[in-house]
Structure 1
């Protein structure tokens, strides 16, 4: 039997083993050591003085650093001074006391050599003092140029460091332009390069002979192509020092000896630790390590390891907590003093280093991207995700990380699924009447978690009255018979009425009695609203379909009533006439274009082609009015021009008239084969005779409805047997944006390509002229053919 505890909310609590240290507290603890650090900075400065003094002794004697240190210690004992006092005296920082007789050495002891007198080489002594203030290799180069310019006539100083590839990297320069320095930032490992030769042999290279031109050399070029005198001297610590003179004169012997001493003095500067970090193993570092050792969680203190150019190439671990196993690969190795990239696994080296560099650049805390790390779990390798946080602390970094527990990730994923699906799980114990809801269920119902979950039997009380009976019935079947339920219902919440859905099933005991119910509640308001909107759209579509069907039926009836299309050619006055009508609007069989081809009571034939501007019902109504009125006027004896004038007046003054219209009226007399025609702003008919196509000259005539005082004239054309006359509306020839003349030429060429004697040539003509896409405008065409022999009328 399962029992559920009553809860009102969910909280994710990290395990103690995965808790990260509070960086704010850590910073406060470490800050308390600053006083100790300040005290020890003086010791670091004193250490720097000692190292500078060692460099001075190396420069004067040519010995090693160990020999220089022993010399200073023996001299301090002999003069009964402290080592620091002796170093200051050696550097000339203190006024030396009057010379005194040296103390006699103890029996058996080695004699102490006298202290070197630096007053004889004031330039070297001054340089020794100046080097103490140089913080970077570039500062060192500037200091050297300033001190070497007067005595050696130097105008440029370069410092190169060896690269793993065998070449050299420029780490400091003075007297050389930035453009030239950028060009010579790296020197390839080519044979004959003076700087490389000096490092390989350990001997200086003096390039001060006239016309001397050895290998690639950044100091070689001078004004107007002249080669300057220069020297490349190896520094015992691995650098190469380059010095160039202002002219091409050779280096005198005393200058050469002086430069050798300067190179040895630079070795002493390079062995001096920087003033920004106390020496390893001092009391302050030990205090910081003790602080970190007492902190909970996983964290380390890092200091940057910089190249001679100042670029951060790695980080050194100065202190670590006991839980910092990430940097020991699970072994009991102390990571303090080791480099970061040699400790961390390759899988997390990239994210850790990027986060540290970002914090160093911005000076603000930053979060690193999560990274997986495989660790031993019950003998099997299982990937574990870690999260990083880096915070600055003076010139150091505090790096901490936390291991994400798989169960925490599962809970977070479950919470994300509930949030994204807008659903929450619920559990009801039917034995103890206890209930458990997820936080999302409380959010769905808008219920305060402090009030606790609602019992299963009380769930129908949250539904609207219309939906409560169905929900009550479903809950009864679930608790009584164990029947699963999937019921939609509506509930009133603080956010309004919501459409909800409950899906639940029962767990039974051995006798089949339900003892527990578990399931989920989902908010389907958005989906329900979409369904209702879709249903409303479907209803509107059905209504629109009925309207369109009715309009189609009406259009078909209008087609038959207003513009009946003949099923084949008609033969008024002995002529053969084919008719084509193509409406622009799909599904609508009548528009603003119309035609008439009838035989008048006196035996003549009347042909009409017209086009009302626009589309729609108004255009159709105007078309019908003009069509029937024009036929009536001509049938009752009106002339063509008179009919056009009266139609213009009708269009101007009729309330239901629509815009303007164009029209062609043509009357054909069979006895004389005489065609008389007039037009109102319409395109000219096309006449085809003996295989040649030409357009008839238009008589005067303006659009109907465009002027209150129009002038219309008639034109005459005598037809011959075999002639073909085409009347048309502008939809046949217009193709925006091209001009109308191009369309007329296209029509004449296509009509001439079809033989006039062929039957049914109108359809292929239209196919060759009209594009396959939907028409832009209505098209109406009358193809009138005069028979080869005169027609005989009974």
Structure 2
């Protein structure tokens, strides 16, 4: 461009490129429109040629046939042409589409690149020809709608008898969720059902509002933020129009644009013809046999249905279809009689899925009649909830089952309940009419009074003649007062039947006329013999318990005084031969609070110290007596010069020849020589002392020694060691460490840990760490410490 031709500087220089852009855009749109027209014309001509080649008709006749078929199917001419070409194409599609000259899919389920509306419908029409079921149809729809409208899932529901819905095909949804929504009763706010009722699409594009207005298929919540439901008008086997709801679910939060809505409407029209060809929504029409059975059931008063088994591919029964139903048959949705026909048994009566009833149906199909156990069902009668009992019966009829529900008579059941109550409660009812003098007793009253029913009932004023003389006056006064003034009475009395006296109770009340006159008395008689016998036995038992408690308390008091006299406890730590000694004794918290544990800590005449801890088996006075005998004998023997082992041997002999030769005891004897700081000790079946030195805790190795009273020939040995300043020695009985069900080594380890960690000082800290809960045995502890300094 020369300088003379350059446009002037200013607004014109900017406006011209914008105008050029608009012109180019219009030209491109016009070019796209012409291209679509050419492609559409090519499709129409191809469809006409295909019809001419297969039927031999003229071009005009082919054109009229296509127009007529499109009008009958509520489709556009282009859509009808695509369906015609798809039906006439071979099973394996060509590598290149001859019309669009685009690569054709290798299989119907292959997802194509995002095409335009015409291309999408063309490819979908070709793919629909090769689907063999509603499930395959859903998969093909998802493959071809995913690029065009962003579909993430496709669902198809068909209307069922009773206005419920059944899922016949799905894609993009897992099998578990599909099973949960397989059958949907006629619920309000369910978009597919609303779509079929109105015949208009539902565009759900505001998730927050839609989840409040509709029941959404949504797992997990928020998975699909927009969805569309479109009606698909199909024909059934009888030629009547039925319906399928096509659902397209998307994860994106966006509205469906005009082009997307038009595409989905066209897809719904394409699916209508294919679903009709597949026969998906068609229910088999009732047979002549079913109509005959329905006529019979219409005249029956009870609840009965005729069922046809629905089987899987391998012959297993997965459900039953109701072919006929009596007027009184009703399901959980409130449908009755013929409204149930065509529905499935698991939809109408979910409880049938119970194992026993389901197995009973299968046995009945094999020819063995089935009668189930009665079950209780609640129903509303005149505004009140009534529990009624039913029994289910099933028998084979033709290729199906005739199932009936038998309701048990309420009056009969009430009478049976009353009889059971009288028998179990050992009571019977009675009625006296004071005007007609008619007396009526239940059979249980004759049984309670021991009266032969052949002798008849007794008048009210003669009732006191049946009781013991000492009780007759009170009953006669109560009867006379009731007959005169009305009111009621509750009187105990006794009767004699054979050699047995029975305790009874009579309760009655009067019925008065308008003038206040008593005209009728009704009540009951109850046998309280068993209850009275139990009361008397309880009184005797309480008396025996109180007596035993007194004996135990006296024994406990005696044993406690005896133990305090025999085993006095020092008020605090004591000094023995330069050692600091602290004593603890805790009786068991069960039974008598005295036992056989004891200790001794004394200075001997030779300026040594004797320490003893022992444990006699058992509790009570006998254990205390044995403890005293051993305690004083041991001190006496060692004081008079016996060695420790010699004293143990003599104590064993004493125990074997005592009045209670069955007693046993354990014992530790220790003698401390202060000049040498030497401790000599021996034991008879007792736990080893615990030595604490420089922060280390260890158990002393036990010398040989068997418990006292176990053998006539025991061997006892002694051991010795030197105590150092700061040492601590613990002598104790097994009540300190034993726990039920626990090995003794665990208790000893727990004691060692408590000695290491417990607060030093008094013995109380150690006892608190070791003793928790209830003590089942006595506890006796000698805590011996060697001072570090003489002033300690």
Q: Structure 1 pair 676/165, CA: closer, same or farther in 2 (3 Å)?
A: closer
Q: Deviations over 1:740-774 (max 9, x none)?
A: 55554544454355687x4xx11112222x24033
DSSP-derived class of the 1:588 partner: coil
Q: Pick the aligned partner of 1:298 from 292, 298, 301.
A: 301
Q: Structure 1 pair 304/706, CA: closer, same or farther in 2 (3 Å)?
A: closer
Q: Pick the aligned partner of 1:366 from 357, 366, 371.
A: 371
Aligned to 1:427: 431
Query: Separation in 2 of the partners of 1:708 and 1:339?
Result: 97
DSSP-derived class of the 2:595 partner: coil
Query: Separation in 1 of the partners of 2:774 and 2:620?
Result: 17
> Do structure 1's residue 459 and structure 2's residue 463 form an aligned pair?
yes
> Do structure 1's residue 326 and structure 2's residue 331 form an aligned pair?
no
Deviates more, 1:549-558 or 1:646-655: 646-655
Q: Deviations over 1:279-305 (max 9, x none)?
A: 799xxx79x98x999x9x736997654
Q: Deviations over 1:154-174 (max 9, x none)?
A: xxxxxx997899799xxxxxx
Query: Separation in 2 of the partners of 1:663 and 1:633?
Result: 14
> Do structure 1's residue 559 and structure 2's residue 560 form an aligned pair?
no
Aligned to 1:664: 668
Aligned to 2:652: 648
Q: Structure 1 pair 399/455, CA: closer, same or farther in 2 (3 Å)?
A: farther
Q: Structure 1 pair 326/273, CA: closer, same or farther in 2 (3 Å)?
A: closer
DSSP-derived class of the 2:429 partner: strand
Could you tell me whether the CA contact under 8 Å between 1:298 and 1:401 is conserved in 2?
A: no
Q: Structure 1 pair 387/590, CA: closer, same or farther in 2 (3 Å)?
A: closer
Could you tell me whether the CA contact under 8 Å between 2:307 and 2:402 is conserved in 1?
A: no
Query: Separation in 2 of the partners of 1:475 and 1:422?
Result: 22
Q: Structure 1 pair 724/506, CA: closer, same or farther in 2 (3 Å)?
A: same
DSSP-derived class of the 2:683 partner: strand
- Report deviation, 1:623: 2.4
Could you tell me whether the CA contact under 8 Å between 1:384 and 1:403 is conserved in 2?
A: no
- Report deviation, 1:731: 3.3
Q: Pick the aligned partner of 1:549 from 553, 561, 567.
A: 553
Aligned to 1:60: none
Q: Deviations over 1:521-571 (max 9, x none)?
A: 233344434433433333233223222212221221221233222232333
- Report deviation, 1:595: 0.8
Could you tell me whether the CA contact under 8 Å between 1:348 and 1:372 is conserved in 2?
A: no
Aligned to 2:765: 764
Aligned to 2:476: 472
- Report deviation, 1:648: 2.6
Query: Separation in 2 of the partners of 1:559 and 1:731?
Result: 18
Could you tell me whether the CA contact under 8 Å between 1:347 and 1:371 is conserved in 2?
A: no
Mapping of 1:263-282 within 5 angstroms? none
DSSP-derived class of the 1:577 partner: strand
Query: Separation in 2 of the partners of 1:618 and 1:725?
Result: 31
Q: Deviations over 1:259-282 (max 9, x none)?
A: xxxxxxxxxxxxx999xx98799x
Q: Deviations over 1:430-451 (max 9, x none)?
A: 2322122344434544555554
- Report deviation, 1:485: 1.0
- Report deviation, 1:315: 5.1
Q: Structure 1 pair 370/606, CA: closer, same or farther in 2 (3 Å)?
A: closer
Query: Separation in 1 of the partners of 2:460 and 2:590?
Result: 61
Deviates more, 1:725-734 or 1:622-631: 725-734
Could you tell me whether the CA contact under 8 Å between 1:327 and 1:344 is conserved in 2?
A: no
Could you tell me whether the CA contact under 8 Å between 1:474 and 1:485 is conserved in 2?
A: yes
Mapping of 1:354-503 within 5 angstroms? 357=361, 359-360=364-365, 363-364=368-369, 366=371, 390=393, 392=395, 395=398, 418=422, 421-445=425-449, 447=451, 449=453, 451-482=455-486, 484-492=488-496, 498-503=502-507
Q: Structure 1 pair 580/708, CA: closer, same or farther in 2 (3 Å)?
A: same
**What is the TM-score when the length of structure 2 is the normalising length?**
0.53
Deviates more, 1:412-421 or 1:618-627: 412-421
Query: Separation in 1 of the partners of 2:463 and 2:136?
Result: 77
> Do structure 1's residue 629 and structure 2's residue 630 form an aligned pair?
no
> Do structure 1's residue 679 and structure 2's residue 683 form an aligned pair?
yes
Q: Structure 1 pair 767/506, CA: closer, same or farther in 2 (3 Å)?
A: same
Query: Separation in 2 of the partners of 1:741 and 1:327?
Result: 75
Q: Deviations over 1:17-47 (max 9, x none)?
A: xxxxxxxxxxxxxxxxxxxxxxxxxxxxxxx
Query: Separation in 2 of the partners of 1:462 and 1:423?
Result: 17
- Report deviation, 1:475: 1.6
Question: 5+ residue gaps in structure 2?
Answer: 1-130, 140-166, 172-236, 240-283, 332-336
> Do structure 1's residue 517 and structure 2's residue 521 form an aligned pair?
yes
RMSD: 5.3
Query: Separation in 2 of the partners of 1:568 and 1:300?
Result: 91
Aligned to 1:20: none
> Do structure 1's residue 605 and structure 2's residue 609 form an aligned pair?
yes
Aligned to 2:775: 775
Aligned to 1:505: 509
Could you tell me whether the CA contact under 8 Å between 1:298 and 1:400 is conserved in 2?
A: no
DSSP-derived class of the 2:341 partner: helix
- Report deviation, 1:518: 2.1
DSSP-derived class of the 2:545 partner: helix
Q: Structure 1 pair 683/438, CA: closer, same or farther in 2 (3 Å)?
A: closer
Mapping of 1:735-774 within 5 angstroms? 743-753=747-757, 758=761, 761-768=762-769, 770-774=770-774
Query: Separation in 2 of the partners of 1:436 and 1:671?
Result: 105
- Report deviation, 1:517: 1.7
- Report deviation, 1:412: 6.0
Aligned to 2:278: none
- Report deviation, 1:427: 2.0
- Report deviation, 1:665: 2.2
Query: Separation in 1 of the partners of 2:347 and 2:474?
Result: 57
Query: Separation in 2 of the partners of 1:749 and 1:401?
Result: 74
Q: Structure 1 pair 489/644, CA: closer, same or farther in 2 (3 Å)?
A: same
Could you tell me whether the CA contact under 8 Å between 1:685 and 1:695 is conserved in 2?
A: yes
- Report deviation, 1:341: 3.0
Query: Separation in 2 of the partners of 1:300 and 1:748?
Result: 80
Query: Separation in 1 of the partners of 2:342 and 2:687?
Result: 91
DSSP-derived class of the 1:566 partner: coil
Q: Deviations over 1:135-178 (max 9, x none)?
A: xxxxxxxxxxxxxxxxxxxxxxxxx997899799xxxxxxxxxx
> Do structure 1's residue 728 and structure 2's residue 725 form an aligned pair?
no
Q: Deviations over 1:478-529 (max 9, x none)?
A: 2234352101223456997543321112234566443322222233344434
Query: Separation in 1 of the partners of 2:472 and 2:753?
Result: 80
Instruction: Give the number of the structure with larger relative contact order, counting CA–CA contacts within 8 Å between residues 6 or more apart.
Output: 1
Q: Deviations over 1:439-471 (max 9, x none)?
A: 443454455555433211222233344433322
Aligned to 1:128: none
Query: Separation in 2 of the partners of 1:687 and 1:501?
Result: 75
Query: Separation in 1 of the partners of 2:385 and 2:631?
Result: 90
Query: Separation in 2 of the partners of 1:350 and 1:561?
Result: 81
Q: Pick the aligned partner of 2:599 from 573, 592, 595.
A: 595
Q: Deviations over 1:592-641 (max 9, x none)?
A: 32111123344433221122345555544432221111112123333333
Question: 5+ residue gaps in structure 1?
Answer: 1-159, 169-185, 191-235, 239-271, 319-323, 330-334
DSSP-derived class of the 1:298 partner: coil
Could you tell me whether the CA contact under 8 Å between 1:563 and 1:590 is conserved in 2?
A: no
Q: Structure 1 pair 554/492, CA: closer, same or farther in 2 (3 Å)?
A: same
**What is the TM-score when the length of structure 1 is the normalising length?**
0.53
